[in-house]
């Protein structure tokens, strides 16, 4: 068994962009590659209520331009907000800019009741249908094939063509149908290694029954690193968010964030996810100074075998 892959994120969302001493996205992308991480990820968190967040595709384009080896990925792209032709153009451009290093994490969620969704006129009720329809068209559009988008418009042909990137479908176990129909892998988050293991077994059994290859599994982790007051405050804040925003019970929320006082403990957590069947773990700096947290992550990553 090969070592589990570890990815992380530059400051590109929410309060990270305004944190004192936080590097620019370009500076952070260079540091992430230099420290040996397998992949760099940018979330799609446009809400439209004044909360700071960068547009994910443009952020990945900037990261692609200043790196050479590291894979770049969406964690995850909110598909319903982007018409299929536009999304195909963005994906093809990122594939060319990165020399085919893109990992296409996709989801139907985001914040469907937010001002951003409303301003674009996208209904949250239609998000599942729109996501599936777009993922159905994407391979043909990227291949440069003529595609009928609507009955009353001429076929659309995009060029230059680009390789279809791996599609990693975000969501809970309810997303398994989309994984098997449109994806190459599953991209859950807010899940412990103990809960992940049976879910992976079920997913790969379903794939086997359909004669499909075993889907890869990338886990979006939420790790609180360190043992100081900042770490304790970050843990309490994250647990409250899981209860208030994600609707978890306090008991489940309390065990969901992974806490590591040392890089050795974090490496053990990575190993637990690998034992559960995950191929990759993606995490950002959930507390404290970004550079300090990145070095903490890098130490743990170096211990993974």
Instruction: Print burial letters for 15-38: b (CB count within 10 Å at least 16), e (below 16).
Output: ebeeeeebbebeebbbbbbebebb
pLDDT band at 189 (very low <50, low <70, confident <90, very high): very high
CB 14 within 8 A of CB 50: no
More confident: 17 or 304: 304
Question: H or E segment at 24?
Answer: none
Tell me: pLDDT of 242 over 60: yes
Neighbours of 305 (CB within 10 A): 10
User: Considering only 27-36, 99-108, 109-118, 199-208, which range has the smallest mean pLDDT?
Assistant: 109-118
Report which of 76, 133, 82, 142 is spatially closest to residue 109, judged by C-alpha positions.
76
The residue assigned the tokens 């995950």 is 278
Per-residue confidence (pLDDT) for residue 255, from 0 to 100 = 79
pLDDT at residue 165 tops 70 = yes
Domain boundaries, the chain: 5-220
Q: How would DSSP label each residue in 222-276?
A: -EEE-SSHHHHHHHHHHHHHHHHTT---HHHHHHSSEEESSHHHHHHHHHHHHHH
**Beta strand pairing status for 71-74 and 39-42?**
parallel
Residue 130 and residue 122 in contact, taking contact as beta carbons nearer than 8 Å = yes
Structure tokens at 225: 């690193």
Nearest by Cα to 278 from 217, 188, 205: 217
Average model confidence (pLDDT) for the chain? 92
Distance CA 278, CA 269 (A): 12
CA distance 197 to 18: 37
Say whether pLDDT at 232 is over 90: no
Token digits for 293?
């947290």
Inter-residue contact 260 to 297 (CB < 8 Å): no
Among the residue ranges 52-56, 180-184, 218-222, 228-232, the one predicted with the least confidence is 228-232
Pick the CATH number of 5-220 from 3.20.20.30, 1.20.120.450, 3.40.50.720, 1.10.3720.10: 3.20.20.30
Tell me the pairing of strands 167-170 and 102-107: parallel
pTM: 0.94
pLDDT of 211 = 98
Say whether pLDDT at 267 is over 80: yes
Closest CA to 205 of 178, 181, 176: 176
Q: Is the pLDDT of residue 286 over 80?
A: no
Bigger pLDDT: 66 vs 251: 66
Half-sphere exposure at residue 177, Cβ-oriented, CA atoms within 13 angstroms: 5
- How far is CA 131 from its chain centroid? 16
Q: Helix, strand or coil for residue 130? A: helix
Q: Which residues contact 95 (CB under 8 A, 6 or more apart)?
A: 102, 142, 162, 163, 165
**What would the pLDDT profile of 9-45 be if each residue is shown by its tens digit?**
998 765 666 677 788 899 999 999 999 999 999 999 9
Report the percent of the chain where pLDDT is more than 70. Answer: 96
Q: What is the mean pLDDT of residues 243-271?
A: 87
pLDDT digits (tens, 9 = 90+) for 86-98: 999 999 999 999 9
| pLDDT at residue 1 greater than cutoff 70 | no
């Amino acid at each position: 068994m090969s070592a589990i892959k570890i990815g992380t994120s530059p400051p590109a969302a929410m309060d990270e962009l305004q944190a004192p001493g936080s590097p620019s996205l370009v500076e952070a992308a260079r540091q992430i590659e230099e420290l040996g991480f397998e992949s760099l990820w940018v979330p799609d968190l446009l809400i439209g209520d004044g909360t700071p967040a960068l547009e994910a595709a443009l952020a990945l384009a900037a990261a692609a331009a200043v790196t050479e080896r590291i894979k770049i990925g969406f964690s995850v792209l909110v598909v319903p907000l982007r018409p299929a032709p536009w999304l195909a153009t963005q994906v093809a451009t990122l594939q060319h800019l990165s020399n085919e290093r893109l990992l296409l994490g996709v989801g139907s969620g985001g914040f469907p009741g937010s001002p951003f969704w409303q301003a674009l006129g996208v209904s949250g009720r239609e998000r599942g249908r729109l996501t599936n329809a777009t993922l159905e068209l994407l391979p043909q559009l990227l291949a440069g094939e003529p595609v009928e988008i609507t009955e009353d418009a001429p076929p659309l042909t995009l060029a230059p063509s680009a390789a279809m990137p791996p599609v990693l479908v975000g969501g809970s176990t309810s997303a398994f149908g989309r994984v098997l129909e449109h994806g190459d892998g599953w991209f859950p988050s807010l899940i412990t290694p103990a809960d992940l293991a049976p879910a992976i077994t079920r997913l790969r059994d379903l794939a086997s029954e359909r004669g499909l290859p075993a889907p890869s599994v990338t886990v979006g982790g939420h790790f609180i690193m360190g043992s100081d007051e900042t770490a304790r405050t970050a843990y309490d804040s994250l647990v409250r968010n899981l209860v208030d925003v994600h609707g978890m019970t306090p008991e489940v929320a309390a065990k969901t964030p992974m806490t590591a006082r040392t890089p050795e403990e974090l490496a053990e957590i990575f190993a637990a996810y690998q034992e559960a069947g995950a191929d990759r773990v993606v995490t950002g700096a959930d507390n404290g100074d970004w550079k300090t947290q990145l070095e903490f992550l890098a130490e743990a990553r170096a211990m993974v075998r």
